[in-house]
Amino acid sequence: MIAFAPAAPAQTDLSALKFNQYAVIGVTLVTLISGLSALTLLLGAAMLLGAVRPDLSPLRAAYRMSGRRLGLAPEVAPEDPRAHHFAQGVGGVFLLASALAMLAGLPLLGLGLGVMVIALAGLNLSQKICVGCLMYFQYRRLRYTVLSR
């Protein structure tokens, strides 16, 4: 009989999530005020990359380089990061849509999408309510219901 070592539980660095939320709020505010749609495109693409390939995430790299200098010590929790990656992907899609709307001459739509990203990141930061994570869990539940028929 072959014995398998138990898989290590998934972990999430909560300080990295806080850093990402502050970065998203700050950069999105700057882009909406200044009208730099290219910066919104870059942030949205960086967020999507981090959602799909967390090991290549520019925001994770920035956190690792400057997190400690900003007073953020790693706060690792035994929590599966997939819901947070999904939420980051949703935010990235909204930011890309915001930038594209601005570039297409629809500034109110672009502003609305950007403000929505800021509001949801702020809600997660201040109240620990991750709407993208809730969407992920609902998606998983729906998928299970459909596939178990």
pLDDT in tens, 25-77: 999 999 999 999 999 999 999 999 999 999 999 999 999 999 899 998 999 99
Token pair for residue 128? 């620990």
Question: Helices 37-52 and 82-103 meet at what angle, rounded to 10?
Answer: 160
Find tokens 């947070």 and name the residue.
Answer: 84
pLDDT tier at 148, thresholds 50, 70, 90: confident
Share of the chain above pLDDT 90, in %: 83
> Does the pLDDT at position 6 exceed 80?
no
pLDDT at residue 4, as a whole number: 54
pLDDT at residue 9, as a whole number: 74
Spatial neighbors of 129 by CB under 8 A, at least 6 apart, are: 123
Which whole number is the average pLDDT over 101-123? 97
Which whole number is the average pLDDT over 85-91? 97
Which whole number is the average pLDDT over 21-28? 97
CA 112 to chain centre: 18
